Amino acid sequence: MRGFVSDFGPTAALSMESCVHCGRCADACQFYVQTGDPRYTPIHKIAPFRQAYAREVGPFAMFYRLLGLARKVTADELTKWQDLIYDSCNMCGRCSLICPMGIDIADLVEKARHGMYRAGLAPSDYLGLLAEKEQATGSPFGLSTTKFREMLNAIADQHGVAMHVDEATADIVPTVSSIDLKTYPGSMAAIAKILNHMGESWTFRTDGFDADNVSLTAGDRDGQRKTTLGIVQAAASCGAKTLLMPECGHAFTEMRWEAANAFGKPLPFRVMQITEFLAEGLADGRIRVKTVKQRATYHDACQISRRGGATAGPRIILEALGVDLHETEDTGDSNWCCGGGGGVALINRAAPLRKKAFEIKQRQIEATGMETVYTSCSGCRQTLDHGGKAAQWNKTVGSLLELVADSLRP
Amino acid sequence: MTLLDFARGPGLQGAWLIMVAGTAWRVSGILLLRQRSHLAAPRIGFAGRVRVGLATVFTRFVPRRTFWPRIAVSVGLSSTFHLGLAVIVLGGAPHILLIHQFFWLTWPNLPKGLVAIVSGVTLASMIALLFRRIYHPVLRLLSKADDYLSWLLVFLPVLTGILLSGETIASYSTWLTMHILSVELMMVWLPFGKLLHVKLAFFGRAAMGMNFARKGAAT
Amino acid sequence: MDPTATLGEVLGRRGFGRRSLLKFAIAMTSSLALPPALAPVMAANLAKAKRRSVIWLSFQECTGCLETLLRSSSPSIEALIFDFISLDYQESLMAAAGADAERTLREAVSANKGEYLLAIDGSIPVKDGGVYSMTGGRSNLGMLTEIAADAKAVLAIGTCAAYGGIPKAYPNPTGAAGVEDLISGKPIVNIPGCPPLPEVLSGVLVHFISFGRLPELDELRRPLAYFGTTIHDQCYRRPFYDQGKFAKSFDDDGARQGWCLFELGCKGPVTHNACASLKWNGGTSFPIQSGHGCIGCSEPDFWDAGSFYTSLAGGSSAGWRNTGIALGVGVAGGLAAALSGRRKST
């Protein structure tokens, strides 16, 4: 419980105190909406932690303990909550948006995971393993710095792009996500292509390249800090002015909004999500593109749009490319989560549940009648790919970054 | 001392003081926790964050379109209840008189008949809300003793107020005593259960608005 | 007056025949909320009635109750009835004084043992052995206990005798109490009011003389016929209450138009009495008609029920000082909790 209540400020405390049990958060959550199982009610997922809060940190904590108004929560008890806190929550923030009391439930789940991890209750499969590996090698896929350098060189050859690796000084330091490393290596070629096109001084840094931060989603605060600070140091040491976050949701929120706190002072560089960077470049003419004669729809990553405040970028990019955009019914900040976010995609036993959650997205995309859906998060991209395969889609799932790279005018 | 004298005298004083002390304790216990530092470069300045924070207090009253079909019943019943209560408390002549005695503010009251109709609607909405809380699977899972107690502590004032206003079934004296005592019971419990959402909702929404505005996140 | 004459004979000599007595009985049964069929019975009983001895003891009082009961603007049958009852002892009215008066009391008690009505006005102080109100070296408390023992029934006249009244108001330095707090085992009627309506006493006496027992009483021992409804129920300004027309201050436009005085503190809705229908001074007026709200003077502890000018919608203020203290205690407690929470949060 100490792990949970650490870092508790007034906002988190307000969230703990304010729930009036109205039940609306359930209606925002893809897991409840698709299954009808009341256990997936967002605020219910963290019930034992509200008890712990009341006992330890609440205004009447002393009375709770003296009068036995809240039992001490045992680690045994918490085992029952594991699937609620990990398998059935993407931390997508829809619940936070619907709550009439202004409770950031998604943030509370993230905090709950700190407690769960401390108690050794992060799901043992894949997720836990990944977090350990990430700390050891800087990547959940166990890719060492040497391996990364080799990969980058291979990509440079394959795609015919000039790659910059471990330069001593550079203005821009791009990062990647572990899913890019494994599944979409083309994204690294795409970044290189665009940055070269812009004539920027840039470099990948093998001492800080994987921004995915699986430790965050696992609840491992120490691992989370380690990964984040590794990247910050890498960028700072080459005097970067801009740190580019890849197509990845949590990587962005972590670096843009939390890294400075871990660093202890404001970061010495701008942190930009790749779509923000591309939108800026397109707007001021540093990136020049051909028109793309396409009709498509777009899937927002929750951490980038709703939680991260970078909703406008992708629309600017698509417009600059001349894509005929047909938005889904709930889009932008009101988007439904693909179901794979927040580490859920990495939990094997959660696959059936994830599939059910994805059906909402599937319906909404199909309703647009578009053949192509773009996204700017590799996690979402992978979920859309897998989900589409299961649904036997004929739709194309594309990355916005790669689309821009493919459409550059010489 | 009759029960009515107690209700209008030491009962009122005691309930008021407990409510003030309890609310102050709980709110300051929350707000005086250490503020988390936010060292990331904000998207908008402090004044802008305050503006969004205050706006969020009001925008949260109307949910986004994406949520609508599923929560229409909840929002409808809850809004009816809250608005009804506001009309009764702020528009009913005796309540304005009470506020005037203690806070020197006054404003014109609504006609007694209109308040009576609204009271009936409010009472009905409360009964519907109770049924919903008992039968809806999500609410049944979430609800604890405090939820039902809080419902009762608000229901009794509305009910006794209607009976007092109608001067029916029992004497004016009896209903006046019951009405004032039931309100005092509510006041005494208010700081400690979910009823304090009357204060916390505003703080919570404003805090979320300010925090999210810093990130440009959706509010 | 011939002490053995019946009431019928006395009235007959003064020119009031059977028809007048019947008319009076009809009015009285209506006033007492009795069935109309009882009127001829009452008339017949009154005609046969013998003089009833009444001993009146005045204790810790202002004499207002006595004054009001005796005020009578024109001779009426009520006045004659007061003449007819044998008011054997009353310190303000009787001619005798000193040792003569004491002897009169002793003789009246022994002559009418078990049959006299004991009327009390004023509260009875009990503190310090009852020294705060004494007559001729005897405490009121002692006199009450002794004289009530042989009475047929006790009439507590006025709010002081009924419930303790003004002397009982906080801090009650004399330990004032009402008759019913001190006497048990005797029928007691409370006729509260500060002062009470004269018609109520005459109604109770007529009932007692006619039927040999006290009229139906409510749970506070008040005659239901007069105290069964509230001022609010009978008030002529009730339509304004219902329409929401209230005077906001004394002598404002609303007040001048005779609007309801609820907001100016009228306690009519919670006060049981017949003032709004019978009115005062032979039906001339009553406080509300004169523009002042009812102060609830026939209810127990009315003096301690808060300001006369605080409406029933309002109440006692805790005061700014106490509110400040409560606020301080709350913030202090919250701060302590937050500091402890801060320690755990790092």
C217 and C254 assigned to the same domain: no
Of A384-398, B61-75, C65-79, C156-170, the one with minimum mean pLDDT is C65-79
Which tens digit of pLDDT belongs to each residue from C308-333? 999 999 999 999 999 999 999 999 99
pTM of the model: 0.90
Give the CATH number, domain containing residue C282: 4.10.480.10
Q: What is the interface size between A and B, counted as CB pairs within 8 Å?
A: 177
Collapsed DSSP state (helix, strand, coil) of residue A285:
coil
Please say if the pLDDT value at position C346 is more than 70: no
pLDDT of residue A231: 93
DSSP state of C135: E
Q: Classify residue A169 by burial, with Cβ atoms within 10 Å: 0-12, 13-18, 19+.
A: exposed
Of A167-171, C17-21, C284-288, the one with minimum mean pLDDT is C17-21
C-alpha dihedral (C300, C306, C312, C317), degrees to nearest 10 = -150
In this complex, the residue of C333, C334, C344 whose CB is nearest that of residue A56 is C344
Determine the residue of chain A that is closest to B219 in CA distance: A97
Distance from C-alpha of B95 to C-alpha of C313, rounded to nearest angstrom = 7
Strand C124-125 vs strand A396-399: parallel, antiparallel, or unpaired? unpaired
The ipTM estimated for the assembled molecules is 0.94
Q: What is the CA radius of gyration of chain C?
A: 25
List chains adjacent to chain A, taking adjacency as at least 3 C-beta pairs closer than 8 Å. Answer: B, C
CB A53 within 8 A of CB A18: no
**C101 inside domain:** yes
Q: How many CB atoms lie within 10 A of CB C159?
A: 30
The mean of the pLDDT values for chain C is: 88
Phi, psi for B23 (deg, rounded to 5): -65, -45
Placement of tokens 């609310």 in the chain: B23
Over residues B63-68, mean pLDDT: 91
In a mutational test of the A interface, the residue from C335, C343, C345 whose CB has the highest number of chain A CBs within 10 Å is C345
Please say if the pLDDT value at position C58 is more than 70: yes
Maximum alpha-carbon separation in chain A: 74
**C339 inside domain:** no
Distance from C-alpha of A406 to C-alpha of A155, rounded to nearest angstrom = 15
Stretches where chain A sits below pLDDT 50 are: none
Residue B76 — very low, low, confident or very high, per pLDDT cuts 50/70/90? very high
In this complex, the residue of C232, C316, C330 whose CB is nearest that of residue B20 is C330
Distance from C-alpha of B189 to C-alpha of B151, rounded to nearest angstrom = 12
Q: With contacts defined as CB-CB under 8 Å, which chain B residues touch C346?
A: 34
C152 and C242 assigned to the same domain: no
Q: What is the interface size between A and C, counted as CB pairs within 8 Å?
A: 30
Give the CATH number, domain containing residue C79: 3.40.50.700
CA distances from C227 to C26, C186, C197, C224 (A): 20, 21, 11, 5
pLDDT of residue C285: 94
Pull the structure tokens for residue B75: 């929002």
Beta strand extents in chain B (DSSP E only): none
**C264 inside domain:** yes
Beta strand extents in A321-369 (DSSP E only): 324-325
In this complex, the residue of A6, A59, A60 whose CB is nearest that of residue C345 is A6
**C119 inside domain:** yes
- 3-state SS of A96-120? HHHCCCCCCHHHHHHHHHHHHHHCC
Residues whose CB is less than 8 angstroms from the CB of residue C227 and which lie 6 or more positions away in sequence, other chains included: C192, C218, C220, C272, C273, C274, C298
Q: How far is B109 from chain C (nearest CA, A)?
A: 9
CB A347 within 8 A of CB A125: yes
pLDDT of residue A140: 57
Q: Which of A204, A179, A181, A182 is nearest to A191 (CA)?
A: A204
Please say if the pLDDT value at position C73 is more than 60: no
C193 and C247 assigned to the same domain: no
**C314 inside domain:** no
Instruction: Check if C296 contacts B (Cβ < 8 Å).
Output: no
Which tens digit of pLDDT belongs to each residue from C194-247? 999 988 888 888 888 888 888 999 999 999 999 999 999 999 999 999 998 999
Q: How many CB atoms lie within 10 A of CB C92?
A: 10
Distance from C-alpha of C236 to C-alpha of A76, rounded to nearest angstrom = 73
Determine the residue of chain A that is closest to B62 in CA distance: A100
Instruction: Check if C329 contacts B (Cβ < 8 Å).
Output: yes
pLDDT of residue C2: 58
C95 and C235 assigned to the same domain: no
Distance from C-alpha of C268 to C-alpha of C262, rounded to nearest angstrom = 8
C41 and C149 assigned to the same domain: yes
Of A137-146, B114-123, C63-72, the one with minimum mean pLDDT is A137-146
Q: Domain boundary at C204, C226, C248, which?
A: C226
In this complex, the residue of A6, A13, A56 whose CB is nearest that of residue C346 is A6
Domain interval for residue C177: 7-226
Placement of tokens 């304004």 in the chain: C240
pLDDT of residue C31: 83
Please say if the pLDDT value at position C78 is more than 50: yes
List chains adjacent to chain C, taking adjacency as at least 3 C-beta pairs closer than 8 Å. Answer: A, B
Tell me how long chain B is.
219
Q: C338, A62: Cβ pair inside 8 Å?
A: no
C75 and C143 assigned to the same domain: yes
Q: Domain boundary at C179, C210, C226, which?
A: C226
Q: C330, B13: Cβ pair inside 8 Å?
A: no
C18 and C36 assigned to the same domain: yes
C13 and C151 assigned to the same domain: yes
Q: Domain boundary at C188, C209, C226, which?
A: C226
Strand partners, C223: C217
Q: Which helix (H) or strand (E) holds A298?
A: strand A295-299
Domain boundaries, chain B: 44-215
pLDDT of residue B97: 94
C28 and C140 assigned to the same domain: yes
Determine the residue of chain A that is closest to B59 in CA distance: A100
Q: Per 3-state DSSP, what percentage of chain C is helix, strand, and coil (rounded to 5)?
A: 45, 10, 40
Over residues C121-146, mean pLDDT: 92
Q: How many CB atoms lie within 10 A of CB C165?
A: 27
**C322 inside domain:** no
Residues whose CB is less than 8 angstroms from the CB of residue C109 and which lie 6 or more positions away in sequence, other chains included: C55, C116, C147, C150
Collapsed DSSP state (helix, strand, coil) of residue B108:
coil
Residue C71 — very low, low, confident or very high, per pLDDT cuts 50/70/90? low
In this complex, the residue of C333, C334, C341 whose CB is nearest that of residue A57 is C341
Alpha helices by DSSP H, chain C: 7-13, 18-31, 38-48, 64-70, 77-84, 98-111, 140-148, 158-163, 179-182, 198-211, 224-227, 231-234, 238-243, 253-256, 275-278, 320-345
**C336 inside domain:** no
Placement of tokens 């007694």 in the chain: B112
